[in-house]
Structure 1
Amino acid sequence: MEIKKLIQAEKADAMRLVWDVFLKFEAPDYVEEGVNTFRDFINDENQINNLEMDGAYEKGSLSGVIATRNESSHIALFFVDRRYHRQGIGRKLFEAVLRNSASEIITVHSSPYAREIYHKLGFTDTDAEQTKNGIRYIPMKYQE
């Protein structure tokens, strides 16, 4: 497996992977407004172009994506293709963020589905579950 920074031309493939995984694992827990909010976000080129993205490649195929903003101090997107779940790809993507971030604290708004995954990576909840524009999330932080 190879972890590398994604270039502009690779971001469309990354957003397709994100959308596919979102539909399978996240969307069933969201109201229509939340699904639409998420779709609009990943289709907004300005928003996506302002994210730093790393991709995991397995035999030349994109298998996972992590995207950050605010100088790698906030995880905006973190998705692994379902065929590669529980194989350590998410941990390797997160380790790439840790290497690239100058911040001592990394934050995320975790979906309810991903809550335990973030806990396994060392994140702690900073508040109760919230909903904004139909998106359900738990504010969390990782502190070295």
Structure 2
Amino acid sequence: MVKDYMIARMNIDSIKKYGALDLIWQVFLEFEAPDYSDEGIQEFKKFIDLNSIGQKISDNEMRFWGYFSGEDIVGVAATRQPCHISLLFVDKKHHRQGIGRELFNTITSFYKAAGLYREMTVNSSPYAVEVYHKLGFADTDTEQLVNGIRFIPMKYIFT
């Protein structure tokens, strides 16, 4: 784990200020895009468009968290309603340091405190399947392909 870190909820202003969407895009291009068609890459780019994300946050359809090491953002997580992880990305230099797990723990604590949900879902990219398995997710179906996006549907049961 990174020393001197902080996890904070983010709004559209802090997402812009700290370059959260740039971090997501760079990690996606390096680790996920090689498994995607051009259609899938463009679909993902459209999904993380600043205006689209801003509208989802404004409409309370999406929540965003950032993992900060000092002033630098090194990890990002986002959920959408009702209880679904839609983004979980960690800067390459900070992989395998527990940052993804800390973001996940923050998300699950948030939803457990709400007391409304018994499970969380995610559509894992092929690259992240093992990460989600280590976090306690189980596959709920085989690999899917929608609009060029490859994913494996998964579920996590709150304990």
Unaligned runs of 5+ in 1: none
Q: After superposition, where does 1:123-134 map in structure 2 within 5 Å?
A: 123-134=137-148
User: What is the CA-CA distance between 1:59 and the residue it aligns to?
Assistant: 1.8
**Structure 2 length normalisation: TM-score?**
0.86
Structure 2 residue identity aligned to 1:120: K
Structure 2 residue identity aligned to 1:46: S
Q: Could you tell me which of 81, 91, 96 is aligned with 2:91?
A: 81
Larger CA Rg, structure 1 vs 2: 2
Q: Could you tell me which of 96, 102, 107 is aligned with 2:121?
A: 107
- Alignment match, 2:41: 35
Q: Distance in 1 between matches of 2:154 and 2:67?
A: 23
Q: Distance in 2 between matches of 1:2 and 1:22?
A: 23
User: What is the CA-CA distance between 1:35 and the residue it aligns to?
Assistant: 0.3
Q: Distance in 2 between matches of 1:49 and 1:33?
A: 23
Q: After superposition, where does 1:1-144 map in structure 2 within 5 Å?
A: 1-12=5-16, 13-43=19-49, 45-50=51-56, 51-71=62-82, 73-101=83-111, 102=114, 103-144=117-158
Root mean square deviation, CA, Å: 1.1
Unaligned runs of 5+ in 2: 57-61
How many residues are aligned here? 143
User: What is the CA-CA distance between 1:104 and the residue it aligns to?
Assistant: 1.3
Q: Distance in 2 between matches of 1:28 and 1:38?
A: 13
CA contact (8 A) 2:122 2:155 kept: yes
CA contact (8 A) 1:126 1:141 kept: yes
**Structure 1 length normalisation: TM-score?**
0.95
Question: Could you report, residue by residue, the CA deviation over 1:70-117 in whole angstroms, capped at 9, with x for unpaired residues?
Answer: 14x100111000010000000000001011113110000000000000
